[in-house]
Amino acid sequence: MPTCPRCGAQCEREDRYCGKCGQRLFATITKGKATQEAIRVAKVRYKLGLIYYKKGELLDAIEIWQRALEDDPENLAIKLLIERAQEEQRSERNLP
C-alpha cells in the first residue's frame, strides 16, 4: 500500500490526494505504472516498425522506432534497427 510522501499516511492506489494532509499523490504513486505502460507502448511501436520495415517503408519504420525510443530510450535493439534502416535508405539513394 503506498504512503504519502509528505506525511507518511497510508493511501489507496487509486487516491489522487492524501486523505490526511491533502498532498497530491497521483504522479508519485503511479510513476512505476507509467513507466511500465511506456515500455508496453514502445514494444508495440517496435513491432509496428518491423511491419513497415518488412514492407520496405523505411521512413515510416524509422519514424515509429524513434517514437518508441522516446518511451524506452535504453532499448538497444531499436537503436540498431534505426541504424540499419538509415543505412539502407542511404544505399537506396546512391543507386543509379
The pLDDT assigned to 82 comes to 97
What distance in Å separates the CA atoms of residue 70 and residue 49, rounded to the nearest whole number? 14
Q: Where are the domains of the chain?
A: 33-93
Which residues sit opposite 10 in a β-bridge?
A: 3
In the prediction, which pLDDT does 27 show? 53
Q: What is the homologous superfamily of the domain 33-93 according to CATH?
A: Tetratricopeptide repeat domain (1.25.40.10)
What average pLDDT does the structure give for the chain? 84
Q: What is the pLDDT of residue 34?
A: 56
The string of pLDDT tens digits covering residues 9-41 is 888 877 777 888 888 776 544 455 557 777 788
Amino acid letter, 82: I
pLDDT tens for each residue of 61-74:
999 999 999 888 88
Cell numbers for 69, please give them.
525510443
pLDDT of residue 80 exceeding 90, the answer is yes
Task: With 0.85 as the threshold, say if the pTM is over it.
Answer: no
